Amino acid sequence: MITAVLLVMALVFVAIAGFITMAEAALSFLPRNVADSIQDERDPGVRQRQTALRSVLDKLIDHQNALRFWRIWFETAAAVAVAMLFLNLIDNLWLAGLLATVVMAGIGLVLVGVSPRQIGRLHPVEVLRATAWMVRFLCWILGLIPRWLVALGSAVAPGAPRQENAFVSEEEFREFVDRASESDMIEDDEVDFIQGVFDLDETLVRAVMVPRTDIVSIERGSSLKQALALFIRSGYSRVPVIGDDADQVLGVLYLKDVVATQQRLADGEQGPRVESLSREVRYVPESKQVGELLKELQKESTHVAIVIDEYGGTAGLVTLEDLIEEIVGEIVDEYDAEDSEVEEIGPNSYRVSAQMNIEDLGELFGIDLDDDEVDTVGGLLAKRLGRVPIVGSRIEIDGLDLLADRLEGRRNRVSHVIVSRAEPVQTENE
């Protein structure tokens, strides 16, 4: 008689534990849009039938914690019942404990850990509608006990997250994402997007800014015509206005302000100087977190900020696009195209990539072209110019004429250079 009672108790406890596991999985995998539609339901009849379910969704974390508590309790109770059953049959404490451990490990994995969880994951809505009353009742019985236990568990683990965050940390979530990617459940670009969101609070502005040496700026006193030419050649829509040097930033000049002002000018009228049209500068320290700056720029509707170093000097420039690209990846312009590294455009004239090695360029023209400080054609162009090259920038070196041809990428840097043999200078005797 006792044996039969213990067997029934063990089976009932395992069944209840599996039922709770199924409801717990359904709560975890219920789509957010379905949960929102249930809570926003307007039909009185439907709302009345879903009272228990809406109550569970209103306090989701509390009900999840309660289900975890009861699942562990019923699994433990089933293990005790099985141990007592074997002890009653064989009258050997150690052997009974060993057999109970083996049996419950197998039964617990199949009937509690795997099968019910798969059902709850595949049919979350149906499972929750069927079990909402039970989930609500089990949570009501415990009251605040699960919340206290979670708080206690967080307190004894130094640095652990509190309350609802105690079960999934950022590192664990990153691991979930990596595993999903390895299983081809999500694409690589989606992984980069998710990881980029987490990295926002760890990345500093200095890591994403345009460094001081690469800033394209316009000097105080320049005319609107000069500013418009700079905008067209550089591809930027906003540039800093500087005074004596890059540390003296007077403001930020917008292309739309220049165009609007020129439209109002009469024929032949010079118009104001660029500093009078520049907008107020937004300064940020280079040690500021990217996520924090992104929120501030969005709130202020600001697109450009000047980055300053610890001494108050200009360290670089950061744009809203730079910050967004930390999440979504590089935003490619619709006119950007993937071209070959070398394209012949005429006799002894080639369009080459700015990333082309200068030694390869020398071989192309049959000359020895070398530089100890730079390795690429773009670097050579910038070095000889002594400033950031823009479209139209030109130099002559070792009988070659280098002309900046095209801008691409997030920094609007020179991507292609037209290289041709320089025409020999004609002397009077010739």
Q: Tens of pLDDT along 366-413?
A: 888 877 788 888 888 888 888 778 888 888 888 888 888 877 765 667
Query: What's the mean pLDDT when you consider all of the chain?
Result: 79
Check residues 20 and 168 and name the one with the higher pLDDT.
Answer: 20
In the chain, list all ranges with CATH 3.30.465.10: 342-421
In the chain, list all ranges with CATH 3.10.580.10: 206-328
Question: What is the longest distance spanned by two Cα atoms in the chain?
Answer: 126
Whether 354 contacts 339, CB under 8 Å: no
pLDDT at 151: 67
For residue 285, pLDDT beyond 90: yes
Q: How confident is the model at residue 220 (pLDDT cuts 50, 70, 90)?
A: very high
CATH architecture, range 342-421:
2-Layer Sandwich (3.30)
Q: What are the tens digits of pLDDT across the range 131-179?
A: 788 888 888 877 777 667 766 766 666 555 555 544 556 676 777 777 7
Q: Which residues of 341-366 are buried (b: 16+ CB within 10 A; e: fewer)?
A: eeeeeeeeebbbbbebebeebeebee
Sign of CA dihedral 263, 267, 269, 273: positive
pLDDT at 337: 47
Residue among 1, 17, 4, 6 at smallest CA distance from 100:
6
- Residue partners of 47: CB distance under 8 A and separation at least 6: 41, 54
- Beta-sheet strand order (sheet of 218-219): 218-219, 238-242, 249-254
For residue 90, pLDDT beyond 90: no
DSSP 147: H
CATH architecture, range 206-328:
Roll (3.10)
β-bridge partners, 304: 319
Q: How many Cβ atoms are within 10 Å of 91's Cβ, its own excluded?
A: 9
Distance, in Å, from the CA atom of 55 to the CA atom of 48, rounded to the nearest integer, reads 11
Helix (H) or strand (E) holding 403: strand 400-408
Sign of CA dihedral 295, 301, 307, 312: negative
Q: What are the tens digits of pLDDT across the range 255-270?
A: 999 999 988 887 777 7
Q: How many Cβ atoms are within 10 Å of 48's Cβ, its own excluded?
A: 8
pLDDT at 430: 45
The two tokens of residue 237 are 């829509």
**In Å, how far from its chain's centre is CA 101?**
45
pLDDT at 146: 67
Burial class (CB in 10 A: 0-12, 13-18, 19+), 155: exposed
Check residues 292 and 406 and name the one with the higher pLDDT.
Answer: 292
pLDDT at 345: 83
For the segment 49-54, the average pLDDT, to the nearest whole number, is 66
